[in-house]
Amino acid sequence: MGLAELTKENFLEKTRSFHVYFDELLNVSSLQKEFEKLEEENSNLCKQLQDLDSRCDELLQDLLKEKDKVKSVEMERDHAFLENQELKEYLDFIEETTVCSSCSLNLENTGKPVDKVGE
């Protein structure tokens, strides 16, 4: 065995071969175009994400403002209810003490309306 055959044999032992078919090959320009297309799509998606993030922040601020408004309206409602309740109790007290203090309990207004009187 000569030196060339020995070198060839060592080379073949260290290498592996595989089959490549023509339709499995891609050229660099098509890969570059696809890469550019994907980069553009990525930048568009990043811009959309930023827009959505800013819109989300705006909506969150609006929500917090509306929650504050709801709290203040609920406080006003509770205050008005309490005030109305106190006024109702006061009016009931006045009615009980002044209107029928000298009247009998079975005296009621059972008359007719003015336009029906005399019929």
What is the per-residue pLDDT across 11-46, written as a single tens digit (0 to 9) for each?
A: 777 877 777 777 777 788 888 999 999 999 999 999
Amino acid in position 54:
S
C-alpha 24/C-alpha 9 separation (Å) is 30
Instruction: Please give the Cα distance from 34 to 84 (Å, whole number).
Output: 73
Dist. CA 60–CA 55, nearest whole Å = 9
Phi and psi based region of residue 108 (left: phi greater than 0; alpha: psi -120 to 50; beta: remaining)? beta
This prediction has a pTM of: 0.47
Of 32-46, 58-72, 104-118, the poorest mean pLDDT is in: 104-118
97-110 mean pLDDT: 61
Q: Please report, for residues 28, 29, 38, 45, 69, the alpha-carbon distance to residue 35 in angstroms, rounded to integers and kept in the order given.
A: 10, 10, 5, 15, 51
pLDDT over 70 at 77, yes or no: yes
